[in-house]
């Protein structure tokens, strides 16, 4: 069955180590999209953090969609309007922020438009996230937070050693209450229990009248596993972590070697 939708992770997949889309990848994506294959950028980033790439790939049209915040939001790429949103509550924020202090790791929370940290010693990883995505960063003490806020995702962020130690110490209740996954060695994502990229990719496929056999997904990290498991054609990048390579049906080149372009060229004969 022909592939009619391709979901592509951004960091470590679409982008090379310089956070650029290479010319070969750009051309491959544009070519199949012009032929009628839907391209969905599926990322842990917030909407503001992907707009430049949507423009580069000529996907910034009203008939295009994207998956952001690891699946918490499905959005129209032109205006950011949500087709689907599954959010965390303010009580979830309070609980996870408290846990971060108990475990002695840094913490950040995302609304749809801002990133908040309650850490006076703002983590370098939080600063990096704000710089990389362009999302406004605010320090805000817990007592000053707007209790009406809802959150696409929360994050514990720190060195890989600190974060691994914290994960090992998380109460079992946390895993029952939330979807917990790593998107990078220093990033632990905390989502609504129902949320992952596969959940949102399935939603979009059904909206477009497609079945999973018509879907390809390409990724490299733990937060990509759910969409790789959903897609009929699952492709791991050559730079993927081992568990992703084991889960995918195929392995392409690394993000330094135009892996996305190679996968598209092989399966769609561009």
Residue 152 has pLDDT above 90, yes or no: yes
Residues 66 and 141 in one domain: no
Instruction: Give the pLDDT confidence of 12-39 residue by residue, as tens digits.
Output: 999 999 999 999 999 999 999 999 999 9
Q: What is the pLDDT of residue 270?
A: 53
**Domains identified in the chain, total number:** 2
Instruction: Give the pLDDT confidence of 224-258 residue by residue, as tens digits.
Output: 999 999 999 999 999 999 999 999 999 999 999 99
Among 127, 158, 192, the domain-final residue is 192
Give residue 1's pLDDT band: very low, low, confident or very high (50, 70, 90): low
Residues 163 and 208 in one domain: no
pLDDT (average), residues 96-122: 96
Angle, helices 90-103 vs 160-169, to 10°: value is: 110
Q: Report the C-alpha gap between 68 and 208 in whole angstroms.
A: 18
Q: Closest Cα partner for 64 from 82, 88, 39?
A: 39
What domain range includes position 76? 5-85+195-269
Burial class of 196 by CB neighbour count within 10 A (0 to 12, 13 to 18, 19+) = buried
Residues 105 and 182 in one domain: yes
Q: How many CB atoms lie within 10 A of CB 161?
A: 10
What does DSSP assign to residue 245? H
Residues 75 and 142 in one domain: no
Phi, psi for residue 185 in degrees, rounded to 5: -55, -30
Q: Closest Cα partner for 41 from 55, 23, 27, 31?
A: 55
Residues 80 and 206 in one domain: yes
What share of residues in the chain are helix, strand, coil (percent, to 5)?
40, 25, 35
Q: What is the pLDDT of residue 62?
A: 83
Residues 187 and 101 in one domain: yes
Active-site residues, by number, are 9
Q: How many CB atoms lie within 10 A of CB 43?
A: 29
Residues 187 and 203 in one domain: no
Residues 174 and 106 in one domain: yes
Residue 187 has pLDDT above 80, yes or no: yes
CATH of residue 207: 3.40.50.1000
Residue 210 has pLDDT above 70, yes or no: yes
Q: What percent of the chain has pLDDT over 70?
A: 99
Q: Report the C-alpha gap between 193 and 176 in whole angstroms.
A: 8
Burial class of 147 by CB neighbour count within 10 A (0 to 12, 13 to 18, 19+) = exposed
Residues 60 and 71 in one domain: yes
Residues 23 and 64 in one domain: yes
Cβ atoms 5, 216 nearer than 8 A: yes
Instruction: Give the pLDDT confidence of 28-72 residue by residue, as tens digits.
Output: 999 999 999 999 999 999 999 999 999 999 998 888 999 999 999
Residues 13 and 57 in one domain: yes
Among 144, 166, 192, the domain-final residue is 192
Q: Report the C-alpha gap between 156 and 195 in whole angstroms.
A: 17
- Alpha carbon of 217 to those of 151, 234, 239, 264: distances in Å? 26, 5, 15, 10
Q: What is the pLDDT of residue 44?
A: 96
Q: What is the pLDDT of residue 172?
A: 94
């Amino acid at each position: 069955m022909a592939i009619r939708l391709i979901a592509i992770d951004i960091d470590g997949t679409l982008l090379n180590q310089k956070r650029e889309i290479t010319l070969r990848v750009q051309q491959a994506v544009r070519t199949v999209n012009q032929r009628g294959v839907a391209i969905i950028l599926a990322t842990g980033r917030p909407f503001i953090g992907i707009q430049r790439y949507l423009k580069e790939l000529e996907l910034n049209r009203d008939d295009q969609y994207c998956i952001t915040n690891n699946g918490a939001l499905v959005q129209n790429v032109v205006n950011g309007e949500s087709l689907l949103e599954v959010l965390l509550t303010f009580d979830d924020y309070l609980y996870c922020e408290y846990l971060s202090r108990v475990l002695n790791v840094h913490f950040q929370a995302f609304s749809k438009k801002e990133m908040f940290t309650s850490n006076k010693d703002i983590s370098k990883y939080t600063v990096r996230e704000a710089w990389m995505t362009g999302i406004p960063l605010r320090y805000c003490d817990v007592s000053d937070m707007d209790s009406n806020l809802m959150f696409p995702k929360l994050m514990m962020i720190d060195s890989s050693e600190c974060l691994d130690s914290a994960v090992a110490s998380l109460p079992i209740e946390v895993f029952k209450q939330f979807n917990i996954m790593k998107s990078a060695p220093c990033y632990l994502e905390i989502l609504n229990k129902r949320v992952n990229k596969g959940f949102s990719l399935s939603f979009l496929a059904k909206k477009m009248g497609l079945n999973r056999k018509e879907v390809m997904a390409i990724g490299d990290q733990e937060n990509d596993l759910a969409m790789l498991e959903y897609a009929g054609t699952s492709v791991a990048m050559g730079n993927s972590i081992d568990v992703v390579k084991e889960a995918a049906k195929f392995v392409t080149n690394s993000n330094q070697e135009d892996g996305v372009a190679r996968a598209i060229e092989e399966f769609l004969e561009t």
